[in-house]
């Protein structure tokens, strides 16, 4: 499982000009799922998202989590996080999980984050052509990979 986490002042997702999810201050999380990902990987990553201290405290230091600031989460599925560009110029997405694995895991992640955050996580629409509008705060952008947990 791979993720790109962005600290945002606001973010929204729309599909065919309809807003599917929007947040004010919080985290915009792009998540990609591969076949090897497990429920344990999903739980590990969700805990990281919730506890990641990347919001400023009263001294301007990154010491607060999304929970600490009563922030929000917008979760977007993004299979392109598994793009392989080693050969040729057209990316291969062979490592991205197929629909029957990826969609249920994305939905599980949303439910798990909602229970941890104790408020509804906002979503895109899995597999749709989504338009994301965001105001990155910082900017602060962090990448994570469950296959490389020792470095995260």
Is-catalytic flag, 38?
no
Q: Identify the residue whose tokens are 């705060």.
A: 137
| Selection from 33, 29, 26, 21 nearest residue 123 by Cα | 21
Cβ atoms of 73 and 122 closer than 8 Å: yes
Active-site position among 80, 85, 114, 141: 80
Alpha-carbon distance of 109 to 2, in angstroms, equals 13
CA distance 32 to 78: 5
Give the span between the Cα atoms of 147 and 65, in whole angstroms.
Answer: 23
Whether 16 contacts 124, CB under 8 Å? no
- Which residues carry out catalysis? 80
């Amino acid at each position: 499982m791979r993720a790109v986490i962005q600290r945002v002042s606001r973010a929204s997702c729309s599909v065919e000009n309809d807003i599917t999810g929007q947040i004010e201050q919080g985290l915009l999380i792009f998540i990609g799922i591969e076949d090897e990902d497990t429920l344990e990987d999903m739980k590990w990553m969700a805990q990281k998202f919730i506890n990641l201290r990347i919001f400023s405290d009263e001294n301007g230091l990154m010491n607060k989590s999304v929970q600490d600031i009563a922030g929000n989460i917008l979760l977007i599925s993004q299979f392109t996080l598994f793009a392989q560009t080693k050969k040729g110029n057209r990316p291969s997405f062979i490592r991205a999980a197929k629909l029957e694995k990826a969609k249920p895991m994305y939905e599980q992640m949303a439910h798990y984050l909602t229970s941890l955050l104790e408020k509804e996580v906002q979503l895109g629409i899995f597999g749709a052509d989504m338009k994301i509008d965001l105001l990155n705060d910082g900017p602060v952008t962090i990448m994570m990979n469950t296959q490389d947990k020792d470095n995260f």
